[in-house]
Structures are given as C-alpha cells and as structure tokens.
Chain A
Amino acid sequence: MKETADIVIVGGGCQGVSLAYHLTKKKAGKIILLEKSYLGSGATGACAAGIRAQWGLPINCKLAIKSLEKFEQMDEELDFPGGIDLKQGGYLVLAYQEEEIVQLKKNVVLQNSLGIKSKIISPGEVRSMVPYLNTENLIEATYHQRDGYADPHKVVFAYGEASVRLGVEIRKFTPVKRIIVDEVRVMGVETDKGTIYAPIVAVTAGIYSTGLLSNIGINIPLYGERHEALVTEPLEPMVKPMIISFSLNLYCQQTPHGSFIMGCGDPHKPVGEDISSTPQFLFTMTKKITRLLPFMKKVRVVRQWGGSYDMTPDATPIIGSVSEIKGLYLSTGFSGHGFMLSPMSGELLSQLIIGETPSVDISGLNLERFQIGELIREPSVVG
C-alpha cells in the first residue's frame, strides 16, 4: 500500500501542532502529523510556561506580541475544555547593573515602537507590585502587563484537538526514522510503521531535527542544552508578575494553580539529550530564591525537572524553507523561547508553505544565515 499526504509534519510539540492547525485552517490539503511519543513530550512539556513580549530583537518582539494576541484569543478560537490557563500578571524584569539598564532601556524603546506597552519602573513601584520582594541593590525594572503564563500542555493538546476536528491526522507514538529525498526534492518520510509519500515535509522536531537533517546531508548548527526548573506546593495568590532578571540569571512565577515555577542559569549545563535533575541546581536555586523572596524559606519544593533547549548559535529560531531540497521546511531552534512564539511561528510557516507572503518578514530567520555569517543575536535571555 502506498500512503500519501500533501504535507507531513515531523514533531508534535508546540511548533508542529500550531503549524498543523494554521495549515488546516487554510485548507492546505491532507496533513499528517507524526510524533514519536505523545504531543508536547519534548521541550514544550518541560518549558516553564512563561510568555513575554519584552525582547531585545525586533523579530522576537514582533513574533511575541502577535503570539500574545493569539494566546489571548485562544480559548475562544480553539474551544478547549477548561481553557489554556492564561494568566497575564506581566513580566517584571529586574535590573541590578548599569550596563543592564542601558540594554533594557533600549529594549523598551524598541518594544514601544512595535506596539508593546512596556515601561521602566522604580524600585518603589516594584515593591508596591510585589510587597514580598527583597529589592536590595535593585536599580530599576521594566514591566509589561500582557506578559505572563499559559499552560504548555493544554496549549499543545488544544491545538491538537482543534487540528483533528479540521481534518488533520495526528499519529502519536510514531517515530520518523528518516526523511526521504530524491536529490533535490523531498519525497516523504519513513516511520517505524511504514512510508508516507508527500511533496512537502516540515520538520518541527526541536533537538531531534539535527539528526533527521544530517541523515540527508543538511547540516544545521542546532544542539540540545539542558536547563532545569522546579515547582513548589500551591499557595494562595501572592505574586502577580513573573519575576525575571538577566543579571541574577533567574526567573520565578506563580502559576494560576498557585505553585511557583522557577529556574536559573547554569554555567556547566551539558550539551545533548541529558535532561536529568541535579542537586547543584536545587542548591543554587534555593540560595537565589530565598534571598529574592524570603517567604520562600517556608515553602515546599515538590518537583524538579529538566528539559532541552534547542539552541542555535545566535539563540534565534530557524523558520523557513531549505534551499537545497524543494518541499523541505523547518521551524526549530527556538533556543528556549519556542512555546511563547509558537502561535505566530506556526501561522507564518503555514503562509510560506502555501505560497502566501508571511505577514511578518521572516526571511532573516532562514538556515542560510549561518553559512553567510549573518547572525541575529538576542541580547535578553536567562542562561
């Protein structure tokens, strides 16, 4: 039996399901999405659920603010039972160093020019917003009210269910063994359950994209990098905004469920598929968070976990076609902020695939930028 489709999507994380949904909404034909485990089982499900528009690169700002709009409309649009748990308590970006203030001020000017209503606020305003916060040595902060939280599992399942209602076939627990190419064009994919022929294949497989592509001679500079997080027991609503600092290298947010999710940078993070949890992270996080939010000393840690950022050399995603192979598309390498950009990145790639001009110019995000050395580094990330 020769099975065919118009479009095959490899990878059922936030990028894959958002792409599937936006393609089927445009009636792009027979779409099959293949996922090696369950939807959101990779980096999406391990992410810390933060969504923000406060970025330092124009492209990230544009993708993020459009994505925020889509998150705001998602319950109505996708009609997922129980909703996606959106919380817009804002992101509070704390600054402790002079050079950091300079960067954040630049960011705010850029963000404001792109319709993101972020602002600089004083330590006094920070204290009235989060009375529990230790503001020692704090110089200034930036704040954007529409930033916040959405549940990554629910968003992925919501896109998945809506896609299926509109005709997409989602095959869970179906790993793709290889992409099939005929020298200059894509032919389909081989799974562990047979071959599917398709003139268009989109790879949205996070860190697993690298291996699938190197098999067909396409080298992408994408690698996994472990980041860890933890979650506490639930408490009454106490802290509205996500608290984040690039110089303290940490973030912490109270979820709608009441628990606090937090993470911090690690100078020794391993490269590859390792997502194990370490006591070093627990100790470092404990020291940082009990200093910043002293009430935390009495709060219980319930669970630690790890996930893999799909890192590119400039911490910016790869979205677009692959020039050497006709019909092959990528949406990967989001370097730790794929979830919050996924509503818009899925729409933009769907436009490119069906031959429309993407509504935001994403030509700078193509794979070729690494060959010609036109990197576009994002300055504002927790690492």
Chain B
Amino acid sequence: MSDDDVIICRCEDLTLKELRELLKRGYTSFDEIKRLSRAGMGPCQGKTCKQLILNEIKNYTHLEIDKIPIRPTVVRPPARPIIFKEILESENERNR
C-alpha cells in the first residue's frame, strides 16, 4: 500500500504521505503537525492519531518517544463533542 493510501488522522483526512512531507519540512513535534494539518483537531481530538503520529516522528528523528517534544497535556473540554442545546438544558436544570 502506498503512503498516499494510509490515513493517519481519520477525522481530518491526513495521509501518511502528507505527514512525511511535514516531517521533511522540519515540523517534528506533535503540536506543530497538529496545527498545520489539523490532525487531532477533529471529533476524536487526537485519541486515534496521536500515537501513530508520535511513532512516525520517532522513525523520522530517531528520538525515543519520551524525548520527542510535546507540550504537557492541556485539558480541552468537552471530552466528546456535545450540542449547545444539551449544555443549555443542563444549565437550566442546575438553576431550577
């Protein structure tokens, strides 16, 4: 299978080929790749692609995964996408 056919980020359609091009351009941290390719910004918020991307960075840079720069996990709610109406209703419930 060619790199063009391998999907790394299912939410935002990042292929392995595109990921490798970003690595070659010098973007070798997860945070840079996320901000350039949107990988990790879709509905799953990186739960699927993050490990795959870190592994590719490791293969490219020959750094151990714990040496790859990554910003400390910032909690970015909600855990799963949720519609505004449900938030509104939960708030009305709380104030009752």
Tell yes or no: B96 within 8 A of A by CB.
Answer: no
**CB–CB B84/A290 < 8 A:** yes
Count how many chain A residues have C-beta atoms less than 8 Å from C-beta atoms of the other chain: 35
CB-based nearest A residue for B33: A38
Which of A86-94, A102-110, A292-300 lies at the binding interface?
A292-300
- B35-66 contact mask (Cβ, 8 Å, vs A): 1 or 0: 11010011101000000000000000000000
Whether A37 and B83, one on each chain, are in contact in the complex, defined by CB atoms closer than 8 angstroms, is: no
Flag if B76 contacts A286 (CB, 8 Å): no
A81 vs B75: C-alpha distance in the bound complex, in angstroms?
31
B45: chain A residues within 8 A (beta carbon): 302-303
Measured between beta carbons, the chain A residues less than 8 angstroms from B85 are: 290, 297-298
What are the interface flags for A42-73 relative to B under an 8 Å C-beta threshold, 1 for contact and 0 otherwise?
00010000000000000000000000000000
* Shortest distance between the CB of B73 and any CB in chain A (Å): 12
* B77: contacting residue among A39, A173, A257, A304, CB under 8 A: A304
> Once the chains bind, are A286 and B87 in contact (CB under 8 Å)?
yes
Cβ of A153 < 8 Å from any Cβ of B?
Answer: yes
**Is B15's beta carbon under 8 Å from chain A?**
no
Question: Is the pair A299, B76 in contact by a Cβ cutoff of 8 Å?
Answer: no
Q: For the complex, would chain B's binding face be called helix, strand, loop or mixed by DSSP majority?
A: loop
- A233 pairs with B29, CB closer than 8 A: no
**How many angstroms from the CA of A154 to the CA of B37 in the assembled complex?**
10
Which residues in chain A, 278-331, are within 8 Å of chain B measured between CB atoms? Answer: 279, 282-283, 286-287, 289-290, 296-305
Question: CA separation between A276 and B73, bound complex, in Å?
Answer: 11
Q: Please, which residues of chain B bring their CB within 8 A of the CB of A45?
A: 35
Q: Is the CB of B36 within 8 A of A300?
A: no
Q: Which of A189-212 touch B at CB < 8 Å?
A: none
Rounded to whole angstroms, the CA-CA distance of A299 and B88 in the bound complex is 12
* A258 nearest CB across to chain B (Å): 11
Residues of A within 8 A of B87 (CB): 282-283, 286, 301
Question: Per-residue 0/1 for B70-95: is the Cβ within 8 Å of any A Cβ (1 yes, 0 no)?
Answer: 01001111100111110110010000
Contacts of B78 in A (CB 8 A): 282, 301-304
Q: Say which size band chain B's interface belongs to.
A: 20 to 34
Whether A300 contacts B35 by the Cβ 8 Å rule is no
A39's nearest neighbour on chain B, judged by CB, is: B32
Q: Determine if A287 and B91 form an interchain contact, defined as CB atoms under 8 angstroms apart.
A: yes
Q: Could you tell me the distance in whole angstroms from the C-beta of A176 to the nearest C-beta in chain B? A: 17
A95→B30 CA distance, assembly (Å): 42
Q: Answer yes or no: A41 CB below 8 A from chain B CBs.
A: yes
Question: Which chain B residues lie closer than 8 Å to A286 at the CB level?
Answer: 84, 87-88, 91
Using Cβ atoms and an 8 Å threshold, which residues of chain B touch A351?
none
Contacts of A37 in B (CB 8 A): 31, 69, 71
A59-B61 Cα distance, complex, nearest whole Å: 46
B71, A301: Cβ atoms closer than 8 Å:
no
Check if A161 is an interface residue, CB within 8 A of chain B. yes
Does A162 have its Cβ within 8 Å of any Cβ on chain B? no
In the assembled complex, the CB of B26 is this many whole angstroms from the nearest CB of chain A, namely: 8
A133 → chain B, closest Cβ, in Å?
A: 16
Q: Is A40 an interface residue (CB 8 A)?
A: yes
Mind listing 10 A-B residue pairs with CB under 8 Å? Answer: A41-B71, A45-B35, A172-B29, A172-B69, A276-B75, A286-B88, A299-B84, A300-B83, A301-B83, A304-B77
Given contacts A41-B31, A290-B88, A305-B76, 19 further A-B contacts (CB under 8 A): A172-B29, A275-B74, A282-B77, A286-B87, A286-B88, A287-B88, A287-B91, A297-B85, A300-B84, A301-B83, A301-B84, A301-B87, A302-B42, A302-B43, A302-B78, A302-B81, A303-B41, A303-B77, A304-B77
